[in-house]
Amino acid sequence: MSIKLKSHIGENDKKIAVAYIRVSTQDQTEYSPDSQLKLIKAYAENHNMILDEVYSDEGISGRKVDKRPAFKRMIVDASMKKFDTIIIYNTSRFARNHVESAIYTDIFKRYGVQIVSITQPPIDYKTDILMNAIYAAMDERYSIELSENVKRGMIEKASRGIYISCAPLGYVRKESKKPLVIHEFESQLIKWIFNEYENGNTMFAISKELNNKGHRAKRGNPFDRRGIHRILSNPVYKGFMLWRCDGKEINMKADHEPIISETQFDKVQDKLKDNLNKRAWKSKDSAVCSHWLSGLIRCQACGTTYVYLKGYNGRADRFRCGRYGNASCKNNHSVKVSDMESLVIQHLETVMPGRTQFVKVEKEDSPLENQNENNIKQLETSLERAKSAFLRGIDTLDEYGANKITITAEINRLKVLNSPKQPKLLDKAAFKERTTGLVEILRSDRDNTVKNEEIKKNIQKIVPDLITNTFTFYFFEY
Q: Which residue has the higher pLDDT, 60 or 245?
A: 245
Looking at the structure, tell me whether residues 272 and 296 fall in a common domain. no
Over residues 59-80, mean pLDDT: 74
Q: Is residue 49 part of a domain?
A: yes
With contact defined as beta carbons under 8 Å apart, do 137 and 144 qualify? no
Q: Which residue has the higher pLDDT, 160 or 286?
A: 160
Rounded to the nearest integer, the mean pLDDT of the chain is 76
Q: Which of 37-41, 368-372, 439-443, 446-450 has the highest mean pLDDT?
A: 37-41
Looking at the structure, tell me whether residues 261 and 304 fall in a common domain. no
Residue 150 confidence (pLDDT) above 80: no
- What is the pLDDT, as a whole number, of residue 286? 43
Q: Is residue 155 part of a domain?
A: no
Looking at the structure, tell me whether residues 305 and 421 fall in a common domain. yes
What would the pLDDT profile of 385-428 be if each residue is shown by its tens digit? 777 666 656 667 777 777 788 888 888 877 776 665 554 555 55
Over residues 245-267, mean pLDDT: 82
Residue 265 confidence (pLDDT) above 90: yes
What would the pLDDT profile of 344-358 be if each residue is shown by its tens digit? 888 887 766 667 776
Looking at the structure, tell me whether residues 198 and 53 fall in a common domain. no
Residue 111 confidence (pLDDT) above 50: yes
- What is the pLDDT, as a whole number, of residue 7? 47
Over residues 224-234, mean pLDDT: 90
- What is the pLDDT, as a whole number, of residue 321? 84
Among the candidates 284, 319, 350, a domain finishes at 284
pLDDT class of 102 with cuts at 50, 70, 90: low
Looking at the structure, tell me whether residues 375 and 437 fall in a common domain. yes
- What is the pLDDT, as a whole number, of residue 260? 94
SS3 per-residue string spanning the chain: CEEECCCCCCCCCCEEEEEEEEECCCCCHHHCHHHHHHHHHHHHHHCCEEEEEEEEEECCCCCCHHHCHHHHHHHHHHHCCCCCEEEECCHHHHCCCHHHHHHHHHHHHHCCCEEEECCCCCCCHHHHHHHHHHHHHHHHHHHHHHHHHHHHHHHHHHHCCCCCCCCCCCEECCCCCCCCEECHHHHHHHHHHHHHHHCCCCHHHHHHHHHHCCCCCCCCCCCCHHHHHHHHCCHHHHCEEEEEECCEEEEEECCCCCCCCHHHHHHHHHHHHHHHHHHHHHHHHHHHCCCCCCCCEECCCCCCEEEEECCCCCCCCEEEECCHHHCCCCCCCEEEHHHHHHHHHHHHHCCCCCCEEEEEEEHHHHHHHHHHHHHHHHHHHHHHHHHHHHHCCCCCHHHHHHHHHHHHHHHHHHHHHCCCCCCCECCHHHHHHHHHHHHHHHHCCCCHHHHHHHHHHHEEEEEEECCCCEEEEEEEEC
Indicate the number of domains in the chain. 3
- What is the pLDDT, as a whole number, of residue 27? 47
Q: Give the domain range for residue 175.
A: 171-284
Looking at the structure, tell me whether residues 245 and 312 fall in a common domain. no
Q: Is residue 164 part of a domain?
A: no
Q: Is residue 345 part of a domain?
A: yes
Among the candidates 263, 284, 305, a domain finishes at 284
* CATH number for position 135: 3.40.50.1390
Over residues 281-299, mean pLDDT: 65
Over residues 159-163, mean pLDDT: 65
Least confident range from 277-286, 345-354, 390-399, 463-472: namely 277-286
- What is the pLDDT, as a whole number, of residue 450? 84
With contact defined as beta carbons under 8 Å apart, do 463 and 331 qualify? no
What would the pLDDT profile of 330-382 be if each residue is shown by its tens digit? 776 778 888 888 888 888 877 666 677 767 666 544 445 556 677 788 788 77
Among the candidates 284, 308, 337, a domain finishes at 284
pLDDT class of 259 with cuts at 50, 70, 90: very high
Q: Is residue 149 part of a domain?
A: no
Looking at the structure, tell me whether residues 120 and 51 fall in a common domain. yes
Looking at the structure, tell me whether residues 280 and 312 fall in a common domain. no
Burial class (CB in 10 A: 0-12, 13-18, 19+), 444: exposed
Q: Is residue 446 part of a domain?
A: yes
Phi and psi angles of residue 227, each rounded to the nearest 5 degrees, phi first:
-65, -40
Q: Which of 89-103, 171-185, 261-275 has the highest mean pLDDT?
A: 261-275
What would the pLDDT profile of 199-220 be if each residue is shown by its tens digit? 988 888 898 899 889 899 888 8
- What is the pLDDT, as a whole number, of residue 122? 58
Q: Is residue 152 part of a domain?
A: no
Looking at the structure, tell me whether residues 324 and 462 fall in a common domain. yes
Looking at the structure, tell me whether residues 48 and 110 fall in a common domain. yes
Residue 183: closest CA among 170, 193, 168: 170
- What is the pLDDT, as a whole number, of residue 284? 43
Residue 271 confidence (pLDDT) above 60: yes
Q: Which residue has the higher pLDDT, 276 or 143?
A: 276
Q: Is residue 205 part of a domain?
A: yes
* CATH number for position 267: 3.90.1750.20
The fraction of the chain above a pLDDT of 90, given in percent, is 12
Looking at the structure, tell me whether residues 40 and 97 fall in a common domain. yes
Looking at the structure, tell me whether residues 350 and 424 fall in a common domain. yes
Residue 407: closest CA among 393, 392, 387: 387
Residue 185 confidence (pLDDT) above 90: yes
Amino acid at 20: Y
Over residues 233-244, mean pLDDT: 84
